[in-house]
Amino acid sequence: MNKLFNVLKKNYFLIIAGLLIFLFFSLTFMSTNGIHFLGINTTTESITYDEMAHIASSYQYDHDMRMVLNPEHPILIKTLVGIPLNLININPTKFTYKSLISSNNDFQWDYANDLIFKNNPTRSEEIIFTARLSVLLINTSLLIIICFLAYKLFNKKVSLIMLSLLVFNPNVLAHASLVTFDVPSLLTTLLALLCFYGLLKNNNAKWAAYSGLAAGIASITKYSSVVLIVFIFIFYLVYSLIHFKNHDFMHKIRMLLIYSSTMMLVIVAVYLPFTYGIAKSDEHYQIYNIWYGHLSLFSKPLIDFLLSFSIPTKALAVWIDGLFITNMEVGINRSGVFLLGHSYDTGFLLQYFPIVFLTKNTIGELILFLTGIWLFIRLTFKKHADNFVEESFALIYAFIYFCLALYSKLKLGVRHLLPLEGTLSLFVALILNNNWTKKIFKIKVSTIFYVLIILSITSTITAYPHYLSYYNETVGGSYNAYNVAEDSNYDWGQDYITLKNWQDANPDKQLYFDIFAAVGVREAYFGNDPSRFVVWYKNNLPSGSFIAVDSANITSAQATRHFSYKQIFNKAPIRITPSIFIFEK
């Protein structure tokens, strides 16, 4: 027994870290793929709205070895997901590279419908499963790297606290296996921040190269990481001018050059194989005919120059072009932003992300975030500077990222805040570690952490499997919070297979549908009879029939038409999932 205890004590970090990473993978995999857990019945999640475009572009990039579809998102995750998709030998679409590149239409949704449903009707589930498993394996691999890098740079406790906050976050679990880029962006952001701390700590060429490598990976994962690239450059310059007085100015410049050149090499190296085979005239045609609106007087000559100069700069031009598209989308005013039961004609809602952040995270995790910030402020005023840099660099970036999110008019859900949540998890881990034995209101910091992480674990387990629709208890929980904020916050089309199963189990019920879905999705799950797809608030249903309505359509109708479903349907709806309502006429 003593030998076993000694082995456990000696290897506790590997055991706990391994368990947490296993839980991350298994909870995500099970909730997405309909595996029962603790007696809770669940169903495989149907393909979500944005996954259609991302799966299509993933396949197209590797199939044609030339990127055309979905240029508004970087290439890294899509090219990795495209490898297994091309290995399972599925039927290709009618769209050839030539037809895609020569048209001024954006065919990503039609391409996706052909690839996933029309041309492979018996293998649709296999395609979606393969793509999702690829993303989950990528995310799990990144999490392992981050875990051990945090251990190397700090210690075991920092690594395990950060890991716990990520694993028991319903928002992270909700998106970790979806074919989107939000969790990879969170993890590559943490990777870049950790490597950057290594540069601050060691101030040598090796860590400058590591920082450039990690920043480059982050920049080809999601375009919002450009903020991180600039932050690292400026923070290092300011910090080195203040602290590295024993190094000459040229040393600081060399470190920044190594960082910048390594980052650029990563971008070019990954983009080049997928842009090499595209003629300059084809690339020019696509940029100026499909996405012309994003180009300004400044960006047009820059793109033209890079396309014409050389093959490596052409690869860089495609990355920069996507960055300009993203900048355009962030700045475009979008009407119909839904928040707290109201639809707004502007995307400039400063209150949107604070409300989403406070309601979509577990109460335990929110209190831990606030505790960390309060500790930092208190210690700063006490001029406690022993660990100021290691605690502050993550918090400063989190603050900058959050401010830019407030400014953005693109209000599509808490997934856009996931890099913020990851950065806050690192910050909280650092400051709790540095104050582990201190007391707040006569309670040890360590005790506060254990109590609150248990609360987060409880919230995460009880939310299973509906992590995408998760809301905390302050707004009534997942089943009662659909009036807070929609889109990927609650209903992203993830519950249509559950609805299909309910329909199959109730063949005697005449069922109609009013659901919001991407091109071809509702037909794939519910058939091609157009008479079954109706608008619920028009009251055009035969008596005794049933209609399934997703929460996206319920809330949008209530917000824009000030029209409640209770005015038509007297009976309480059947709630088969948080996002699906079934009414009887």
pLDDT tens readout for residues 186-224:
999 999 999 999 998 888 999 999 999 999 999 999 998
Integer Cα distance of 305 and 295 in angstroms:
14
Q: How confident is the model at residue 364 (pLDDT cuts 50, 70, 90)?
A: very high
Q: Domain check: are 260 and 322 in the same one? A: no
Burial 77-103 (b: 16+ CB within 10 A, else e): bbbbbbebbbeeebebbebebeebbee
Residue 504 included in any domain:
yes
d(CA 198, CA 521): 46
Same domain, 253 and 282: no
Domain membership flag for residue 38: no
Tell whether the model's pLDDT for residue 513 goes beyond 70. Answer: yes
Residues 320 and 361 in one domain: no
Segment 426-440, tens digit of pLDDT: 999 999 998 888 888
219 shares its domain with 74: yes
Number of folded domains that form the chain: 5
Inside any domain, residue 337? no
Type of residue at 507: P
Both 296 and 366 in one domain: the answer is no
Q: What is the pLDDT of residues 79-125, one digit of tens each?
A: 999 999 999 989 888 888 888 887 767 788 899 999 999 999 999 99
**Are 210 and 265 within one domain?**
yes
Looking at 475, 503, 536, the residue that finishes a domain is 475
Same domain? For 248 and 282 the reply is: no
- 3-class DSSP assignment, residue 337: strand
Residues 495-513, mean pLDDT to the nearest whole number: 90
pLDDT above 70: residue 292: no
Q: Structure tokens of 580? A: 């699906």
- Is residue 447 within 8 Å of 512, Cβ to Cβ? no
Q: For the chain, what is the mean pLDDT?
A: 87
Neighbours of 148 (CB within 10 A): 14
Q: For residue 412, give every residue at least 6 positions away whose Cβ sits within 8 Å of its Cβ, in sequence order, or none.
A: 487, 488
* Residue 169 and residue 136 share a domain: yes
Question: Quick one: 222 and 243 in the same domain?
Answer: yes
Q: Which domain holds residue 90?
A: 49-270
Query: What was the pLDDT predicted at 335?
Result: 67
Q: Which of 26-30, 198-202, 240-244 has the lowest mean pLDDT?
A: 240-244
Q: Are residues 326 and 410 in the same domain?
A: no
118 within some domain = yes
The pLDDT assigned to 296 comes to: 65
> What is the rounded average pLDDT of the residues 287-304?
69
Does 339 reside within a domain? no
Judge whether 485 lies within some domain.
no
Sign of the CA dihedral running 218, 220, 222, 228: positive
- Give the Cβ contact number of residue 400 at 10 Å: 18
pLDDT tens digits, 117-173? 999 999 999 999 999 999 999 999 999 999 999 999 999 999 999 999 999 999 999
Give the pair of three-digit tokens for residue 394: 């993550």
Of 475, 506, 535, the position where a domain reaches its end is 475
**Mean pLDDT confidence for 479-494:** 87
Number of Cβ within 10 Å of residue 123's Cβ equals 17
Taking 80 as the threshold, does the pLDDT of residue 52 lie above it? yes
* Residue 425 lies inside a defined structural domain of this protein: yes
Write phi, then psi, for 428 (nearest 5 degrees): -65, -40
Task: Decide if 438 is inside a domain.
Answer: yes
CB 425 within 8 A of CB 433: no
- Predicted TM-score of the model (pTM): 0.92
Asked if 302 and 388 sit in the same domain, the reply is no
Among the candidates 248, 270, 292, a domain finishes at 270
Query: Per mean pLDDT, which range of 87-101, 171-185, 213-227, 544-558 is the poorest?
Result: 544-558
284 and 259 fall within a common domain: no
> Which range (131-135, 216-220, 291-295, 543-547) has the least confidence?
291-295
